[in-house]
Each structure stands twice: as C-alpha cells, then as structure tokens.
Amino acid sequence: MSEETNLELFYKDIHSFTEEEESRFLLLAVPERREALAVMAPAVRKASLCGEALAKQAIATAWGIAIEEIQIKKDPKGKPYEVNHPDIFFSISHSRDKAVCAVHTSAVGVDIEYIRPVNKRLFAKCCTDKEQRYVEKADTEEEMSRRFLTLWTLKESYLKYTGQGLSGGLKTAEFIITNGIISSNKHGAFSSVCSNDGYIISYCIL
C-alpha cells in the first residue's frame, strides 16, 4: 500500500467478470450471503458478486491472505466486514458497468457513480442550501449533473465510512468544493476523481 495514504483503490469492469468467476465467488460466499444473492435479478447478482470478488482480491493483494480464507459479511446497516480480521477495512461500490473497492488501515468509505443526467428535484432533497447553490451555478446541464454526483458520492462515501448508510441522512454531511478543494463539516479526509470513462469516484478516510 501507499506509504503516503495507506489507501488503495481497485477498479473492475463488471462485463469482464466471467460466468466461471461468478460461480466461483458464489460458492466462496458465506451461506447467508449466498441466500441473499439467490433471490437477486441476474444483472444485480453479477454486479454485487463482482464487487465482493474485487474486495476479496483487494484484501488478498493488500494483506496477503488467500482468497479462499476471506469471509465477508454485512452488519445490520449493510456495511461489509471481514469476519476473521477486524483490522481490515474496506468499502465496495458499483455503478452501471464498473465496480470499485477501497482498502485501508482504518475506516474507509468509497462510492462510484456514472455521470448521467440527474433529476433536478433531487437537488433540494439531497443537498444543503449551500450545496444546492453550488450545483445550480454550473454553466451547463452536464456540469450541473457532474457537480451533483460529486456531492452525492462524497456523501455516500462518508456514510459508508461511518457505517450508517443512507439512514445517516444525506444532508448531515455538507461538502463545499472551491477550486477543486473539498471541505466538509465532518471529520475525515475526502477526495473525488473523475475517470476517463465517465465515472466519479469519491472516498473518505480518517
């Protein structure tokens, strides 16, 4: 891992996740996870399994643990954890045809979203007044969507970092972006990047 941040991001195209891999990681999943996956629609199951497989590969790479020994469960609020290694911290997200996993030496949250048109009614629902003004000052519709999705992924990454999930409230964490610098009313280090293939990835670490 990087000595500077102790954070590593892993990124995967869900379409490259083969049927053989899907079958393998389904068998490797803990029993309750297999039960949950069994009732999912095929596309949703593939994306979810791809994210879990990416997490196991990331943990194996970062900590040197055999993939077969890694057991991932979710707590009551949906935060994933490794059963036998409480000192391993990771977060998973997927959007459209990409999955991302962040691993770190302390709590971490990551979120990914494909840049797309956004219903403007979501602005007031999800953003504070300051955030909404920032989004609506964009010069183009595309930039407006990019600004909103950047804020959305930052909020999601924070709520995943805390383990609260969406029940924690999207407006509880406020983000102000000025000349590319992210500040927040919440404690943590935040970063957001836009990939060359049209995705926004944001993460939060302690």
> Model confidence over 1-46: pLDDT tens digits?
333 458 999 999 999 999 999 999 999 999 999 999 999 999 999 9
Asked if residue 50 lies in contact with residue 14, where contact means CB atoms within 8 angstroms, the answer is yes
Q: What is the number of residues in the chain?
A: 206
Question: Within a 10 A sphere around the Cβ of 62, how many other Cβ atoms?
Answer: 18
Given CA atoms 63, 107, 154, 44 in this order, what sign does their dihedral have? positive
Please compute the mean of the pLDDT values over residues 82-102 and round it to a whole number. 95
Predicted local confidence at residue 56, as pLDDT: 97
115 and 201 assigned to the same domain: yes
80 and 140 assigned to the same domain: no
CATH number of the domain residue 128 falls in:
3.90.470.20
Predicted local confidence at residue 5, as pLDDT: 56
- The token pair that represents 107 in the structure block: 């709590």
> Model confidence over 159-195: pLDDT tens digits?
999 998 777 789 999 999 999 999 999 999 999 999 9
Predicted local confidence at residue 48, as pLDDT: 96
| Calpha distance 100→195 (Å, rounded) | 12
| Calpha distance 12→7 (Å, rounded) | 17
Predicted local confidence at residue 165, as pLDDT: 78
Does 103 reside within a domain?
no
User: Quick one: which H or E segment has residue 161?
Assistant: helix 141-162
Could you tell me the residue range of the domain that residue 27 belongs to?
Answer: 12-86
Average pLDDT of every residue of the chain:
93
191 and 117 assigned to the same domain: yes
For residue 88, give the nearest of 67, 103, 100, 71 by alpha carbon.
103
N-term to C-term CA, the chain: 16
Q: How many domains does the chain have?
A: 2
Q: Is the whole model's pTM more than 0.85, yes or no?
A: yes
Please compute the mean of the pLDDT values over residues 104-122 and round it to a whole number. 95
Asked if residue 160 lies in contact with residue 171, where contact means CB atoms within 8 angstroms, the answer is no
74 and 24 assigned to the same domain: yes
The rounded Cα 123 to chain-centroid distance in angstroms is: 20
The rounded Cα 133 to chain-centroid distance in angstroms is: 25
